[in-house]
Amino acid sequence: MAKQIQAIRGMNDCLPEQTPVWQMLETTLRRVVSSYGYSEIRMPIVEMTNLFQRAIGEVTDVVEKEMYTFNDRNGDSLTLRPEGTAGCVRACIEHGLVYNQERRLWYVGPMFRHERPQKGRYRQFHQFGVEVFGLNGPDIDAELIMLTARLWRELGIEQFTTLQLNTLGSSAERAAYRDALVVFLEQHKESLDEESKRRMYSNPLRVLDTKSPQVQEILQHAPTLTDYFGEETKAHFNGLKALLDAAGIAYQVNERLVRGLDYYNYTVFEWVTESLGAQGTICGGGRYDGLVEQLGGQATPAVGFAMGLERLTLMLETLEKINNLPATVDVYICMAGEGALTAGLLLAEQLRSERPQLRIMTHCGGGNFKKQMKRADKVAARIALILGETEVAEQKVTVKFLRDQVEQQTIAVTALLPILDQLGE
Ligand code: ATP
Ligand code: MG
């Protein structure tokens, strides 16, 4: 036998048994965002590398070590998108979508990061994201959080999620804080790990995002950004908290929450869960008022979030929220004997025209009725329609209920629709 070729590590197939939970999740996502009046945008999966360097920031985990970057045949450096915001902003500027206009957009699709694969962390993963342009908040920030909260409710996972909230203030406030943080870090330089030492000057706020427990311990005593906030930042954050209180959405203010990408200011938030172990963040977002201008557009306030669909499907599976997924087939058509094949295939076509919502599968490949009924069982059909020589000659069909205690019956083909209609009930 020839040597098998396997999928790339960290890049998963989504097998037929798994697609129903994905479809359910995607359908719910689409329904919820469209109930807020948001529009879909689709961007390419590959962009110029410098887009991500500029948008996400050179000194971030994503740009430093996680990007899939390669040279195109003509020598351009391209990158498989590690997230959706940069491409979305690029597209909006390029097509003039946000020039003096408000936009509320969403996207869904694969993202790529070269990370160590583990449960809930993959090299190709999927994000659903929302980006809103032209609004300063905090009203729109609150709406985005309400939208995510509604989604958890609709998915039945709201008791398993908590909202962490913080504000990063304006860029001027961050600059003042940054200086103070560097002074503090310099005093503790000896106890920092290599990564933190390196980031201390290039991007000190990033040190706050460290995963090292030892550095986290030291950071307990670091100055906090809060001390540098002016009235505007406080009013923005209080406004958001008041709206969330009014909406009955609980949150924990977490002053250590800085998010992994550089472009955020003012509001940042993460939804976390304990149901997934280490990879507990299912959704993260915040304001990025400087990014449109930074990428060459006119200064435009913006806010968005992205959620990881693998983590959500894992959660739905772990919490067994997918029991009620419909079977794959409603009607299985079995046929054997003179004229039955033609009659069966045509009957299936006719029924699909008359009842497009029904899933009708025909038995192909011949064999006796016993074998055909086994197939019907295997695909979890609700009823089997049996066409033998007698049925074909008399224009009848035998209806066998596979999952209800109802007697099998042979009826005229014309009497079939009322029976099929009961399947939908
Ligand atoms: P983490 O801290 O878990 O690495 P992050 O801050 O890098 O997350 P974001 O860039 O904010 O993640 O992406 C938003 C969401 O996308 C995350 O909250 C998570 O649900 C999901 N996500 C990010 N990276 C991965 C990955 N490698 N595999 C699966 N899902 C991911
Ligand atoms: Mg990450």
pTM of the model: 0.88
* Nearest-angstrom CA–CA distance, 254 and 269: 9
The pLDDT assigned to 323 comes to 58
The pLDDT assigned to 277 comes to 85
- Could you tell me if the CB of 304 is within 6 A of ligand 1? no
Q: How far is the CA of 283 from the centre of ligand 2 (A)?
A: 12
Q: Counting ligands in written order, which one lies closest to the CA of residue 111?
A: 1
Q: What is the pLDDT of residues 83-130, one digit of tens each?
A: 999 999 999 999 999 988 999 999 999 999 999 999 999 999 999 999
Q: What is the pLDDT of residues 184-201, one digit of tens each?
A: 999 999 999 998 998 888
The pLDDT assigned to 295 comes to 96
- Which of 38-47, 67-76, 170-179, 381-390 shows the lowest per-residue confidence on average (mean pLDDT)? 170-179
The pLDDT assigned to 203 comes to 83
What mean pLDDT value characterizes the chain?
93
**Which residues, listed in sequence order, are joined to residue 386 by a DSSP beta bridge?**
334, 398
Q: Counting ligands in written order, which one lies closest to the CA of residue 148?
A: 1
The residue ranking higher by pLDDT, 178 or 152, is 152
Q: How far is CA 268 from the centre of its chain?
A: 18
Region 277-297: mean pLDDT is: 94
- Could you tell me if the CB of 264 is within 6 A of ligand 1? no
* Nearest-angstrom CA–CA distance, 224 and 256: 9
| pLDDT(261) > 70 | no
Q: How far is the CA of 62 from the centre of ligand 2 (A)?
A: 7
- Could you tell me if the CB of 129 is within 6 A of ligand 1? no
| pLDDT(373) > 90 | yes
- Could you tell me if the CB of 199 is within 6 A of ligand 1? no
Q: Counting ligands in written order, which one lies closest to the CA of residue 81?
A: 1
> Residues near 289 by Cβ (< 8 Å), separated by ≥ 6?
136, 265, 266, 299, 300, 301, 302
- Could you tell me if the CB of 83 is within 6 A of ligand 1? yes
- Could you tell me if the CB of 279 is within 6 A of ligand 1? yes
Q: How far is the CA of 117 from the centre of ligand 2 (A)?
A: 11
| pLDDT(325) > 60 | no
* Nearest-angstrom CA–CA distance, 382 and 155: 26
423 pLDDT tier (thresholds 50, 70, 90): confident
- Could you tell me if the CB of 310 is within 6 A of ligand 1? yes
- Could you tell me if the CB of 212 is within 6 A of ligand 1? no
- Could you tell me if the CB of 122 is within 6 A of ligand 1? yes
Q: How far is the CA of 235 from the centre of ligand 2 (A)?
A: 30
359 pLDDT tier (thresholds 50, 70, 90): very high
The pLDDT assigned to 422 comes to 84
| Residue whose CB lies within 8 A of the most ligand 1 atoms, among 25, 125, 268, for a mutation test | 125
Q: Is the dihedral of CA 46, 48, 50, 54 positive or negative?
A: negative
- Could you tell me if the CB of 63 is within 6 A of ligand 1? no
- Could you tell me if the CB of 330 is within 6 A of ligand 1? no
Q: Counting ligands in written order, which one lies closest to the CA of residue 116?
A: 1
| pLDDT(415) > 70 | yes
Q: Counting ligands in written order, which one lies closest to the CA of residue 118?
A: 1
End-to-end CA distance of the chain: 50
Closest-lying ligand 1 atom to the alpha carbon of residue 259: 6
Closest-lying ligand 1 atom to the alpha carbon of residue 129: 14
| Residue whose CB lies within 8 A of the most ligand 1 atoms, among 311, 313, 314, for a mutation test | 311
Q: Counting ligands in written order, which one lies closest to the CA of residue 258?
A: 1
> Residues near 137 by Cβ (< 8 Å), separated by ≥ 6?
236, 239, 240, 266, 267, 287, 301, 303
**Which residues, listed in sequence order, are joined to residue 253 by a DSSP beta bridge?**
165
* Nearest-angstrom CA–CA distance, 319 and 13: 22
Q: How far is the CA of 167 from the centre of ligand 2 (A)?
A: 20
Say if CB 295 and CB 93 are below 8 A apart: yes
- Could you tell me if the CB of 290 is within 6 A of ligand 1? no
Q: Which residues of 18-41 are buried (b: 16+ CB within 10 A; e: fewer)?
A: eeebbebbbeebeebbeeeebeeb
Q: How far is the CA of 287 from the centre of ligand 1 (A)?
A: 17
